Amino acid sequence: MSAPIRISAQKGELAGCEADVGIVYRFRGDEDVCGPLGAPLAKRLSGVARADHFDGDAGRTLLWHAPGREGERCGRYLILGLGPRNELTLDRYRHYIGEACIQADRLGAASVAIPLLEAGAAPLGSREAGVALAEGVLLGTYRFERYRSQPEAGRRHLRSVTVAAGSVALREVESAIGLGEVCASATNFARDLVNEPAGVMTPERMAAIARDVGAETRIAVRVIEPDELRSMGMGGILGVGQGSRNPPRLIQLNYAPDEGARKKVAFLGKGLTFDSGGLSLKSAEGMETMKCDMAGSAAVLGAMRALPELNPPVEVVGLMGMAENMPDGGAIRPGDVLKIMNGKTVEVRNTDAEGRLVLADLLSYAGSMDGVESMIDLATLTGACMVALGPLASGVMGNDQVLVDDILRAADRAGEKMWPLPLYREYREHLKSEIADVKNTAIRYGGAITAGLFLQEFVRPGLPWAHIDIAGPSFGDKDYSYIRRGASGAGVRTLIHYSLNIE
């Protein structure tokens, strides 16, 4: 994991901040750079931009080595283009800040100073800008280097960021930065979990980490072992895990606010610590990144870890279904029938469609709890969702449009790409089994939707439920702006913003 970066706010203008690199803004179409810089510095940097024909195109940068005259307390200044003023969005700003900090880090800067985008100078509120700035810094500079034997020789990394607050009240800026830090820290925590090798991050290890989170926060943690899973009738998670030497676990986390909760919701995460496909074995290439198949559970644990600090007015139950899908002599076979906690039976047609079997038990369990008013599951569930939406977006579907819309609004606030998918009842026909209540695979086409319809079989009638398929954005093999290759922490910030804005 990256070493922590300290973000602090300072009264006044950027000219009063000392750092290795100062970052300033220019909108395309504006004559001058903008933000609380101080008049002499703003005039000098505006002249530099014009002399180099730097127009402020979105995401472009111009590096200027300061000669060290009075008013230039940073050794270098990075002029960051924000594009046309009327096209700047919160997510674009977050991306641009992240990319600029990555560039500063590559330049060997240990410290950076950035002016706050003040309301009125940009189409964003100062608080929104402060949250996005902190997220862009911390998400963009994340690194997972635990298994490198040697650091890069002579390499310095970014350690501190100072935000020039301008005329905005320092307390307001510090509060915004604090929220951004909590959201980004929770996301990076989930990234760490997913980036760990599967041989380390077993179901038992995830349970130990969850207990540590409980000890550090006021979250109650319960780990349900295989014998108790058996007595509860959880045939799905037990069936998936029976081919592994690492037995499955169900991890339950409970958060309650300081005062009365407006609502009680459940967050459910698929936690396949490694997915070989079971006897329906994946190809060697298909297994290369299957340590990421527990990204749904990592998102739930990351979000739950953040809730006590933010104290949203909602009671949350987090459920993580942890198992390893391996192909030994005791593994489930195609044609086997499993009985889920709610009593329904499933014919296993393909052992590589295992995540839905784990979620079936989680959905049944959450639906049996007193007071749960809605539930959201997250899972790296289908390649079909990646085919439909590509590697950046999650698919959202459910039985309650209000809940789906709330999730999409939360995702928009968080800067996570999500898109609604339907649950066409007609496709339910393709899940019918000749020997059981339902089978775990359907036709080739519409696989994300039929997987959602399968999950719906285990939702208590009348209980609002939504499913987020994070198969695309959870783990990448290339850099997308401030989200680097590897684990992204998909879903964490959406769950946090959903919790903060629940009605």
Q: Cβ contacts of residue 209 below 8 Å, gap of 6+?
A: 193, 301
Number of H helices, E strands in the chain: 14, 19
How far apart (Å, rounded) are the C-alpha atoms in residues 289 and 491?
19
Helix (H, G, I), strand (E, B) or coil at 227: helix
Q: Cβ contacts of residue 410 below 8 Å, gap of 6+?
A: 494, 495, 497, 498, 501
What b-and-e string marks burial along 245-255, b requiring 16 or more CB atoms within 10 Å of the CB?
ebbbbbbbbbb
Number of Cβ within 10 Å of residue 47's Cβ equals 12
Concerning whether 432 is annotated as a catalytic residue, the answer is no
Q: Which of 191, 305, 356, 484 is catalytic?
A: 356
Q: Which of 262, 282, 344, 417 is catalytic?
A: 282
DSSP secondary structure code for residue 221 in this structure: E
Concerning whether 270 is annotated as a catalytic residue, the answer is no
**Is the distance from CB of 61 to CB of 80 less than 8 angstroms?**
yes
Task: Give alpha helix (H) positions in 290-353.
Answer: 295-310
Helix (H, G, I), strand (E, B) or coil at 61: strand
Q: What is the DSSP string of 134-177?
A: HHHHHHHT----TT-SSPPTT-----EEEEE-BTS-HHHHHHHH
Strand order in the sheet with 19-28: 6-10, 160-164, 111-115, 19-28, 74-84, 61-65
Task: Give alpha helix (H) positions in 170-202.
Answer: 170-195
How far apart (Å, rounded) are the C-alpha atoms in residues 190 and 194?
6
Q: Which residues are catalytic?
A: 282, 356
